[in-house]
Structure 1
Amino acid sequence: MERPAPQAPHWVYRPVVRWSFLVLVALVVLANVVSKVARLPTDAVGYHNRGVSDIERGKYAEGIENLTRSLALDPSRADSYVTRGFARNRMGNREAAIADYDQAIRLDPANAEAHAGRAAVEVARDHLKRAIEDYTNAVGLDPESADHYRGRAVARQRIGDEPGALKDFDRAIAIAPENGRGYLRRGDLFYDQGQWREAAGDYRRARHLLAAGADRNRASLLLWSARARLGDRQGATEELGAYLRGTKPRRRDAWLSELSGFLQGKRTEQDLLNAAGSMDRSRLGERACEASLFAATQRLLQDDRAAAVALWRRCLQSGEKDQYAFDRTEAEIRNVLLGFRAADLDEEDRASLSLKPGVGLSVVRVRDGGPAARAGLTAGDVLLTIDGGAANPRRLADLERRKAPGQPVTLGLIREGRKMTAVIRPGSFAPTR
């Protein structure tokens, strides 16, 4: 009888199997590494494209790193500086962003995006005159860009040049009538001027054109405010409810539900303020400002102006200057508490009036029926002093944030070459609508 061939004990095979498995794993890992290395860019164009892809996905740090590699290989690429400047601005590194845009402009003075990008940073730094100059250069280089006109309009609005801002918004909309952001921004201008009907029309158009998201929600909420200020609070509430019912649940964030619930009367003011302080700690200031804006609107509609002013000041204390609620709040408190809008004088105007640097504000708009109008202030007046101190943007902002309703404000001014005085009483509030 034939015997089977002898077999090695199992303890002989076990190490062989183990090592074979480890070798196989190592080969797979090595293949992945080789594949990734093969896909890595090896030239400036490759790193640039990789950086752009990162930034488009919101990965700004990775994008900056790849663009820096691109520039190390080819420092003459103006487009890499422009894109890195954008990413640095989004990360809050304003100085580095300005440096990138400066270099891009040195390399390519005709690059409209470089001028517009630097202008956007200057707006964020509140250097509005520089921003307007850069946007004007961008418009000259690319006159068919709605973005450049819209950007300049925002800067002009903030500096007090409302006619210029409106002209730019109109041009942006004419170039790109299907871009909802043009209507949204022009609606903000009308809102700040108290032109509720025009604001409502633009917000409604913006909501129709904008994709689902924060801007569309904002348009819907401000549309409610504009309609309510026109006296149609019920219609405003019904329209907001219809918008919410048409919003897909997965796209409706919890904060929108809190705000809309408050505006519809389903939540109290305290409920809203509590939610603002507890829902998202990383956005505490932004939420607090937004909640205060809409809570103040409700108070104003109830003719409780003192409470509205207190809520607006709560928003301003948040310091969230890059948020729409902060901008609308500044306009609201200016209109209701003082009733006028003033812009900083440029140095040429100061020189013509023999004023010192940093002194002087030009009154660009006086709201009908408001405290300033009742005190006799008119557009074109040049303010020299505010309560005895030099009239400048900082002092005016401090007045808006701190002056108690009812306490008189004494303004020294020049009108058609004649010095005079006006006394505003912030307690004599402008009409709510």
Structure 2
Amino acid sequence: MKIVFSNIISVFFLFISFQKSICQSQKSNDLDDAYKQELLVENNALKSRIENFPSEAKVINAKIAQSIKQKNYANALALTKELEIILPKNADIKNFKSKMYYKLNNMELAIESYDDAIRLNPRNKWFYINKAGVLSEEDRFEEAVEIVDQLIAIENNWSIAYNLKASLLLYLKKNKEALLMFNKAVDCKPESAQIYTNRGDLYVEMNDIKKAILDYKKALRIQSDYHPAKEKLNRISNELN
């Protein structure tokens, strides 16, 4: 059985709306409850920060939300730059500007804006994840690993950070190092069905089917309705019969 690790990295292209607490990813069905809860916490925190915007900034923010709804990312970027004039040292605005540059396929400016966001708020873990996502989109996996190492330095008990590093190492074909990161991830919080499934996928790739089955079963004990684990476990069972 050949495993494609596309679901591991898809979560890191997050789009967090300025107006609503909605998170979308390229393959949102692969997100488990642990990831969704982490994203919800960040969205609620972001919403609270936006509520403290001055009134003129809120007006522009509403226009940005409308542009996003219409998928007019160029206009959303132009409005974001107006917002930036009002709040020049706001890390969330820099982060959002990065997302618009990404939508407009300007990766270098997206990366620069993420650097600005991280400099203004080095404790926001999602800024690192988003930057690593853009770098990986550009096949700059080694640089992405460096960014995740910076994240781990400030969040050394966050399973999602180790899961991301593992996925990047897989793209670099460093399976043994990736396994070590998955092992760290499952020892950290939050406990995640997705992470166990990802490690199970690696065990399949390494032809260790028994350990893969155990991980898929662990994933389903954490979240019984996690479809990727259920599907892969059924596939292995069918192939063994």
TM bracket, shorter-chain basis: 0.5 to 0.7
The answer for unaligned runs of 5 or more in structure 1 is 1-50, 59-69, 269-433
Give the whole-Å Cα distance in 1 for the aligned partners of 2:108 and 2:75: 20
The answer for unaligned runs of 5 or more in structure 2 is 1-16, 24-50
SS at match of 1:144: coil
User: Where in structure 1 do 4 or more consecutive aligned residues deviate above 6 Å?
Assistant: none
Give the whole-Å Cα distance in 2 for the aligned partners of 1:165 and 1:229: 23
Report what 2:105 is aligned to: 126
1:247 is aligned to 2:212: no
CA contact (8 A) 2:185 2:195 kept: yes
Q: Say what the alpha-carbon RMSD is for the aligned residues.
A: 3.4
Q: Percent identity?
A: 15
Counterpart mapping for 1:217-256 below 5 A? 217-244=193-220, 246-249=221-224, 252-254=225-227, 256=229
Q: Summarize the Cα distance change of 1:149–1:87 in structure 2 as closer, same or farther, 3 Å threshold.
A: farther
Greater fraction strand: 1
Residues 342-384 of structure 1 show CA distances to partners (whole Å, capped at 9, x for unaligned) of: xxxxxxxxxxxxxxxxxxxxxxxxxxxxxxxxxxxxxxxxxxx
Residues 395-433 of structure 1 show CA distances to partners (whole Å, capped at 9, x for unaligned) of: xxxxxxxxxxxxxxxxxxxxxxxxxxxxxxxxxxxxxxx
Give the letter aligned to residue 237 of structure 1. Answer: I
The Cα shift of 1:108 comes to 1.5
Matching residue within 87, 94, 97 for 2:73: 94
Report what 1:203 is aligned to: 182
How many residue pairs get aligned? The number is 194
CA contact (8 A) 1:85 1:117 kept: no
The Cα shift of 1:130 comes to 1.3
Give the whole-Å Cα distance in 2 for the aligned partners of 1:107 and 1:96: 17
Relative to the length of structure 2, the TM-score reads 0.65
Report what 2:14 is aligned to: none
Residues 219-277 of structure 1 show CA distances to partners (whole Å, capped at 9, x for unaligned) of: 22221122233342322222322332x2354xx14554223321xx2246xxxxxxxxx
Relative to the length of structure 1, the TM-score reads 0.39
SS at match of 1:110: coil
Counterpart mapping for 1:297-336 below 5 A? none
Matching residue within 133, 146, 162 for 2:141: 162
Give the letter aligned to residue 258 of structure 1. Answer: E
Give the letter aligned to residue 55 of structure 2. Answer: D
Report what 2:56 is aligned to: 75
Matching residue within 218, 227, 234 for 1:261: 234
Counterpart mapping for 1:126-145 below 5 A? 126-145=105-124
Give the whole-Å Cα distance in 2 for the aligned partners of 1:220 and 1:175: 23
| Bigger relative contact order, structure 1 or 2 (CA pairs below 8 A, ≥6 apart) | 2
1:188 is aligned to 2:177: no
1:114 is aligned to 2:93: yes
Which structure has the larger Rg over C-alpha atoms? Answer: 1
The Cα shift of 1:119 comes to 0.9
Greater fraction helix: 2
Give the letter aligned to residue 147 of structure 2. Answer: D
Give the whole-Å Cα distance in 2 for the aligned partners of 1:89 and 1:202: 36
